[in-house]
Amino acid sequence: MRKLSLQELNRTDVAGFKAQEKHPIVLILDNIRSGLNVGSAFRTADAFALEKIVLCGITARPPHKEILKTAIGATDSMDWEYAEQTTDAIAKLKEEGYRIWAVEQAEGSTALQDFPLNSTEDKIALIFGNEVKGVSKEVMKVVDGSIEIPQYGTKHSLNISVCLGVTVWEIFRRMKF
């Protein structure tokens, strides 16, 4: 077996990416401490052609050094915006017709594999919370629901970048295929 070269992958350039249709998924990062996690979110969002990322509160913003290190150019291709208050970002997205789902271990949460997609054009915003405290209590009061990734080991959580990748892939897979 031979690895493909970058040219053989036939990826679009930034201008082509900006012009292409995006999948109706928005990522909301609620007070993420690590720029490396933020950069990973940019790279994942680019890989699956998501609509945009909303950075909230203390979450680092490009051109932060750690973001650029893990995003590897995805900060140029992905649309993003900043909101000081996560609840303000949620209110705006709700007005635009998005269903708002926290990715959090919470009472009454929905297992990721049971997440209800209404259609392939369902507009969804996924909230990922602080590495220590998770999605804030204020935000949890205004979400439409909570998604939980089933886990079977001794740890009670996943790193945000891993959690984000798993969640986005599952929803993307079901929308696309």
Reported as a single tens digit per residue, the pLDDT across 91-101 is 999 999 999 99
Residue 120 pLDDT > 80: no
160 pLDDT band, cuts 50/70/90, is very high
Whether residue 119 is predicted with pLDDT greater than 80 in this model: the reply is no
Q: CA dihedral in degrees (147, 150, 156, 162; nearest 10)? A: -70
pTM for this predicted structure: 0.96
The kind and range of the H/E element at 80 are strand 80-83
- The model's confidence at residue 39, banded by pLDDT at 50, 70 and 90, is very high
CATH of 17-176 given 3.10.180.10, 3.40.1280.10, 1.10.10.410, 3.30.390.10: 3.40.1280.10
User: Residue 119: which residues within 8 A CB-CB, separation 6 or more?
Assistant: none
**pLDDT tens track for 77-113:** 999 999 999 999 999 999 999 999 999 999 999 999 9
Give me the residue spans of the domains in the chain. Answer: 17-176
